Amino acid sequence: MKNVVFLLAIIGCIALVVAGKFHWDEKIEQSVHPVSAEEESSSELENESEKVIEQPISNDELKELVANFPEQLQEKMMASNDPISVVMVGSESIGTKDSGLQTIVEEGLASSYWKGAFTVEQLTFKKETTETIVEEKLYKDVIEKNPDVVFLEAFTLNDNGNVTIDEGHQNLSAIISKLNKGIPGVSVILMPSNPISDPQYYSYQISALAKYAEAKDYVYLDHWKEWPPVDGEKIDDYLLDARPNDKGFEVWGDVIVDYMSGK
């Protein structure tokens, strides 16, 4: 009987040793080849990210596209895979996020360059004038975005009847100065507000704005030349309550995209 018990004890010990070895071998295998769903997912995201930022055009083609960019912006576009940040700032003339310049510019740049080359945002101050932008320091909302490029609508239509031409220009100078100081290296591109039918004094304000921009050596994107004549009836097809409708946004947005695409 003692021999039987002794034999069973020996068999049990051998079984424990064998089981322990299998368990230890399994742990070693896992430590050498660790695989987890989280790591696979992370790897997939990295690969996907690389696909998004991969430049699908040659450097020569890219040089042609960025021909209108200021030098420092050209250098960033050529040397970095980070997207160029564009913020459009203006009155309700530039529209809203749902219906305005943003979608047109965003899609246009993705078509001219590649998806992910730019980020496009829009800040609309509906009724504010250049005076209230300065007094209430609303330009800080733009600075917080820290963009590479700012397309600044001049708020001329909002200033009309509320702010004199000279005061409006002084306000614009203050706004642009604050942006340049708050966002080192930013490129500010000034644009007139939208044209309207039979503009009268407003037309004079726009002419004065162009001269002001030239005197200050600001980049001035004159989109008016692409709209129908303001002294004809066709202009009304591009406006709704003196602000751009979808057709008007398309004209204006295409001018921005063309400028950003070296045309």
pLDDT band at 179 (very low <50, low <70, confident <90, very high): very high
Q: Return the pLDDT at 198.
A: 92
pLDDT band at 71 (very low <50, low <70, confident <90, very high): confident
Q: Return the pLDDT at 31.
A: 35
pLDDT digits (tens, 9 = 90+) for 20-58: 444 434 433 443 333 222 222 333 334 444 444 567 888
Locate 67 and state its tokens: 């021909």
Please report, in angstroms and rounded to a whole number, the separation of the first and last CA atoms in the chain. 102
CA-CA-CA-CA torsion sign (209, 215, 221, 226): positive
Whole-angstrom distance, CA of residue 106 vs CA of residue 115: 9
- Is 0.75 surpassed by the pTM of this model? yes
For residues 152 and 188, is the Cβ–Cβ distance under 8 A? yes
Q: Where are the domains of the chain?
A: 2-34, 57-260
| 57-260: CATH architecture | 3-Layer(aba) Sandwich (3.40)
Whole-angstrom distance, CA of residue 181 vs CA of residue 178: 5
Give the DSSP letter string of the chain. Answer: -HHHHHHHHHHHHHHHHHHHHHHHHHHHHHHHS---HHHHHHHHHHHHHHHHH---S-HHHHHHHTTTS-HHHHHHHHH--SPEEEEEEESGGGB-SSSBHHHHHHHHHHHHS-TTSEEEEEEE-SS--HHHHHHTTTHHHHHHH--SEEEEE--HHHHTTTS-HHHHHHHHHHHHHHHHHHSTT-EEEEEPPPP-SS-THHHHHHHHHHHHHHHHT-EE---GGGSPPTTSSGGGGGEETTEE-HHHHHHHHHHHHHHHTT-
